[in-house]
Amino acid sequence: MEGKFIVLEGIDGCGKTTQINALSKWLPKSGLINKNSTLIKTREPGGSILGREIRNMILKNNKLNSPSILTELLLYSADRAEHISKIILPALQNGHWIISDRFSGSTLAYQGYGREINIEIIKELENIVCQNIRPDLTFLLEISPEESILRRKNKVADRIESEGLEFLKKVNHGFKLIALENNWEIINASKDLNSISQQIQTSLINKFL
């Protein structure tokens, strides 16, 4: 069996971390993964050693030293280039499975639709950075921007989370368009945790068994 690359996307607080934790318990027992293979849980930004430093640079809430939107785009791209070279590509070449909390769809949604950087420039950059690595399956966990804000009300917001409702609406709209254009699995993530997990598991079985 060959390695697979699965990605969960969505606006802040849509439940990616929760579902990835559930999946990492279920997948090894599912019969989908070869006995000699491992399941690797990772994320963007910050999936590699250098990426963790980049993550800190991008998300730190420092009004005096915020990156410009072009710098922000390039930092997310640098993080991804490192993540692919050091983590994703070697794992897939060795037949392992990867689940990533965010990937290039987030750049299109946040920097493209949210920050309004030209989408064609982002796609061009993605082609350079991704080295033909594309997820085998991407899930969009959909919640409303209002629910996103509600779910995070007791957490300290990072720099991107501090952008507020209007920004989140643009990102949310972007995610919907990207999901439709790329045949992502769209999941209603305002349902209860177990039914979301079940839906994800069913999609994985249908696609990979």
Query: Which residues bind to ligand Z5A, rule: CB under 6 A?
Result: 10, 12-18, 43-45, 76, 102, 106-107, 110-111, 151, 160-161, 189, 192-193, 196
As measured in angstroms, the least distance from the Cβ of 161 to ligand Z5A is 4
> In the chain, what's the furthest Cα-to-Cα distance?
51
As measured in angstroms, the least distance from the Cβ of 68 to ligand Z5A is 14
Pick between residue 7 and residue 204 the one whose CB is nearest to ligand Z5A.
7
Pick between residue 89 and residue 95 the one whose CB is nearest to ligand Z5A.
89
Q: What single-letter DSSP state applies at residue 152?
A: T
Pick between residue 5 and residue 110 the one whose CB is nearest to ligand Z5A.
110
CA nearest to 136, candidates 180, 176, 88: 88
Q: What single-letter DSSP state applies at residue 6?
A: E
CA nearest to 209, candidates 137, 131, 114: 137
As measured in angstroms, the least distance from the Cβ of 2 to ligand Z5A is 25
As measured in angstroms, the least distance from the Cβ of 152 to ligand Z5A is 6
Pick between residue 37 and residue 112 the one whose CB is nearest to ligand Z5A.
112
Task: Give me the DSSP letters along 13-80.
Answer: TSSHHHHHHHHHHHGGGTT-S-TT--EEEEESS-SSHHHHHHHHHHH---GGGPPPHHHHHHHHHHHH
Strand ranges for 46-202 from DSSP E? 97-101, 137-142, 185-188
As measured in angstroms, the least distance from the Cβ of 10 to ligand Z5A is 6
